[in-house]
Amino acid sequence: MGRKGKKEKKVKGAEKTAAKMEKKVSKRSRKEEEDLEALIAEFQLLDAKKTQVVESTCPPPPPRLHASLCAHPEKDELILFGGEYFNGKKTFLYNDLFFYNIKKNTWVKSEIPSPPPRRCAHQAVVVPQGGGQMWVFGGEFASPDGEQFYHYKDLWVLHLNTHTWEQIKAPGAPSGRSGHRMVLSKRQLLVFGGFHESARDYIYYNDIYAFNLDTFTWSRLTPSGTGPLPRSACQMTPTLDGTGVIIYGGYSKSRAKKDVDKGTIHSDMFLLKREGKDEQEKWSWTRVSSSGVKPPPRTGFSMGLGPTGRALLFGGVCDEEDEETLQGDFFNDLYLYDFTKNRWFPGQLKRGKSEKKKRRRGKKGVEEGGQMEESPQESSEEPQQPTEIVKEIVTEDGTVMTIKEVIPAAQAAAEESEEEEEEEEEEEGAAAAPKVEPCPRSNAMVTVKHGKLYLYGGMFEVGDRQFTLNDFYCLDLQKLEQWEVLVQMDPKTQEWLEESESEDEGDEEEAKGGEDDDDDDDEESSEEESDEEEGDEHPPVKPGESLADYQSRTEAYWQGVARTNMGPDAKDKKVQKVGLAMAKVFFEDQA
């Protein structure tokens, strides 16, 4: 569900009013905004101070989205690079690099001189040449308030044997973009799609580029046939014979009317196929009509290529939106696509069946034939409808996350039967193993190593709050028995700073950057008592009050809001100007 690039709608409530107002400020006060290229340059100057490689064992990486997760081509390691984190107020971009040791189940942070600038929504591909390389292309950098974006079109390679970064400057590269896809096909990196967004407009792509790993040159491909519509966030995987790639799904949006965008979830599939060699090489698009049980429409799903000629699709979200609201149903289901048969089918884990057999044998010793007598009765019942399961998780700040999962009828019947058996087994004093699986989410980062799918993080939303995860799972794609938890979700990592909460807590709380939960409650209650006349929204305009008087009276308040938006490193003069502009926008909206 997209915070990225989605225009806020005017609805009731102080939070929506604040979001709309801040968008207006971003447009009207563009000169006061941080110059993104200058900001990127400042970060690069900080990175330039690193003169040697420093590696240190560390805890699992903190929560993030739109990072890249790759399998080391030579070692039993996974590589995590970049990403972003949004805490409700501010966007943080990363260019840090982590290595996960599969055998030891440990993380190492590697600080390498002259890395690529901070980014998210880029693409990374590993190749075995030269002792192992990881190639990174594109991505985006966002301003702290998340209103402005800089899209990269640079190409980098991480030499894994020497732990050095190198920027590859080759002409003819794709335009700056994020949300694109890149895969290795023979000796070429293929880049497809993506989007570019500015403060006023956006564009989606359906072009295809190839980077030759032997000649270090870019070329734009011109395939014959009709290809996919422009889109981002699709999934692209090479075919089994290496002659092409499969592209599935994706997302795009278009202008429905002034200030209203309409999102489109794509569920189509295309084959991009190579014919001929070298200078005689030609490419063609073909639309693929797959059979079987296809995944319901969704975006933000993840896909990994298994060892048996099947691709596994996990999770995602289906948004239902109108002009004023946006709601999404998140998934944690599995679907498998068989390349040979061109067929989809649900990915049912085998753990439930094997354990049920064990439980039945155990019950047989206590009550001979008891389980078998129930089967005819169960089979005579009417077909079951899809079942909705609700889970609750309590975060560090006391927020209860309610996660809804919809299970298909067949799976629901199996799980209901399993739950009944577990309840009976508990009554008999036997311990039932809990079901282990990732919670519903979108934009999880996945990769495959030694036939196992590794899944890191992702996000889901509850109301207006976004939860960015850093849990870590593993699934054997050959056995398909059960998920293995490598890192559990830590509720302490869940931070959300909503505008309405910060305003109630006041400028003093913003300056401190937050206290523990008890202090938050005390300060919030005291601020609410002192601000009873103002209520929960921004300071109101008094009858007959001029703009100058209003700005003077509420100067401290609006500077606090501006400081929160721009971050602690912004200059006081800029914060003062933006605060005055925000007050002016609110004053004019109330007039």
Residue 531's alpha-carbon distances to 17, 511, 525, 543, in angstroms, are 19, 19, 10, 18
- Sign of the C-alpha dihedral computed for residues 349, 351, 354 and 355 taken in this order: negative
Question: What does the pLDDT read at residue 464?
Answer: 84
End-to-end CA distance of the chain: 34
The DSSP letter of residue 547 is H
Beta-carbon contacts of 566 under 8 Å, excluding residues fewer than 6 positions away, are 34, 144, 145, 574, 575, 578
Residue 388's alpha-carbon distances to 27, 177, 299, 329, 356, in angstroms, are 43, 38, 21, 11, 22
Question: What does the pLDDT read at residue 117?
Answer: 96
Cβ proximity of 162 and 141 under 8 Å: no
Question: What does the pLDDT read at residue 420?
Answer: 53
- Which helix (H) or strand (E) segment holds residue 588: the answer is helix 572-590
Question: What does the pLDDT read at residue 39?
Answer: 84
Angle 468-569-547 (CA atoms, 0-180°, nearest 5)?
100
DSSP SS3 for 427: helix
Question: What does the pLDDT read at residue 339?
Answer: 94
Cβ atoms within 10 Å of 119's Cβ, excluding its own: 29
Give 354-385 pLDDT, tens digit per residue: 333 333 333 333 333 333 333 333 333 444 44
Question: What does the pLDDT read at residue 559?
Answer: 86
Cβ atoms within 10 Å of 20's Cβ, excluding its own: 18
Cβ proximity of 234 and 249 under 8 Å: yes
Q: What span, in angstroms and rounded, lies between the C-alpha atoms of 28 and 585?
A: 9
Residues of the chain with pLDDT under 50: 1-15, 17-19, 21-22, 24-33, 352-387, 389, 394, 396, 398, 400, 406-410, 412-413, 415, 422-423, 425-432, 501-536
Give CA 205 to chain center in angstroms: 20
Angle 438-439-444 (CA atoms, 0-180°, nearest 5)?
70
